[in-house]
Each structure stands twice: as structure tokens, then as C-alpha cells.
Amino acid sequence: MSERLKGKVAIVTGASGGIGRAIVAELLSESCTVVGINQSEDPSNIGYHEFIADVTNRTRIEEVVDEVIKKFGRIDILINNAGVTKDTLFYRMSYEDWDYVINVNLTGAFNLTKACIRELVKNEGVIINISSVVGLEGNIGQANYSASKSGLIGFTKSLAKEFGRKNVRVIAIAPGFIETPMTERLSEELKSKALERIALRRFGKPEEVAKLVKFLIIDGTYITGQVIVIDGGLEL
């Protein structure tokens, strides 16, 4: 086990999900103190400090961030990873489907960042927003999800410009098809069609995204305001 992040404190939203759990494991492997924010309790917690909160609930998020600072004394890294889908063709998309996805995926990232930003500035921290390739390219039946992930990219680029002078780095990662519970719900036909469009002919692993996150935090010290695509050569 390395100790390159020893003494650092990271917050990861959606810590119990496929990508979130892999990110937590990578940060723990570097002796980072990891705080995971989940909407419900994670029965297979792998060693992080869990807080239960809805990222859309600003009052609760502020309470959690205050508790983290009181308990650990600092926040150095924020990973906005919490995300949901409500896929359907636009004609069928309800207002509730739109609001739900935008509020969790985009407004949730705003809420966490707003609550953490003073600590991140104080500690010259890093913010990594987990976007998606559909935030760059769009996708049929995902107008709400694509809009939320595209919004995260604009959010990332704006904050990178605003806080670069404070030595806070802000980066977006845009994964393609990754082996998570979200992609497991796809039909075999859709999976097969997706594989035909991926140059490497396989879905990515959550650990591959997590290793990219770790690289950007530890070694990518001159990278900010960028969108890093990790999609195996996906043609959309």
C-alpha cells in the first residue's frame, strides 16, 4: 500500500456504486481518508466513512460537510460521482423524469461543490466530476441524462477558470460503457450492438476509471479544465 495521499481527505458521492466503489478502493490504497456519501446505507462498506444524504438536499449536504470538517479537519478532494438515469424517448419523458436526473446529476454536484469550495481553496484541492461520453455526443432516449452530463462539463470548465488562480484543479471524466449495475440492465441485444461500436470490443471496468481518477489527483498536477474520455474507442 502506497501512502501518497496520507493526510488527505476525499469526499466521494455515490460511493456504493460500481465506479464509486472502485474510486474509494483506489484512494484507500493510497492511505487517503475517504468519506462516502450515499442515499442509503452500504452493507458492504469497504472501509470508508459513510454519511447518508440525498445530494439534492442542500441543508443535509451542508450538515455533512460541516461534520466532515469537524471530524477530519479538512477536505482536499471532491469526487462528484453520484448519478442516475431515467431513459425514455423525448415524447414520453415526463417533467418528473427530467427534474430527477438534472437535480441528482448536475444540481447535486453544484450542492457538494458549493459546500466544499472554501475548504478546497484553503487546501489547493482537486474536484473531479464524473460526466459521460453522452455529455459530449448526446444519445437517443437520454435527453435528460445527456443534458445533465453536458452541464457537468460546462460546470467543470467554468470552475477551472475561476479557481485556477487559487491552485484548485477541476477536471471532468467522460466514461463510455463501463461494467456497472447501470449497464448490466441493458438487454443482450443492446450490449452486443454497443460492443460493435467499441474499438477494444469490451466494456470498461470500474477499476480503470478509478485508476484514471487516482492519476489525475496524484500525478496530473498540470491538468485542469479538461474532459478526459475513457471509452475504449467508442464510435457514437
pLDDT higher than 90, residue 205: yes
**Domain enclosing residue 82, as ranges:** 9-230
- Eight-state DSSP code of residue 30: T
Q: Answer whether 105's CB lies under 8 Å from 84's CB.
A: yes
Q: Tell me, what CATH number does 223's domain have?
A: 3.40.50.720
Is 3 domain-assigned? no
The average confidence (pLDDT) of the chain is: 96
Catalytic residue among 48, 91, 100, 145: 145
Interior angle at CA 222, CA 122 and CA 231, nearest 5? 110
pLDDT for residue 236: 77
Q: What is the pLDDT of residues 6-65, one digit of tens each?
A: 999 999 999 999 999 999 999 999 999 999 999 999 999 999 999 999 999 999 999 999
Question: Domain total for the chain?
Answer: 1
Cα(186)–Cα(202) distance, integer angstroms: 14
Candidates 5, 6, 9; CA nearest to 218 is 5
Distance CA 170, CA 141 (A): 29
Residue 2 lies inside a defined structural domain of this protein: no
- Note if 95 is an active site residue: no
User: Against a cut of 0.85, is the pTM above it?
Assistant: yes
- pLDDT band (50, 70, 90) for residue 182: confident
The verdict on residue 65 lying in a domain is yes
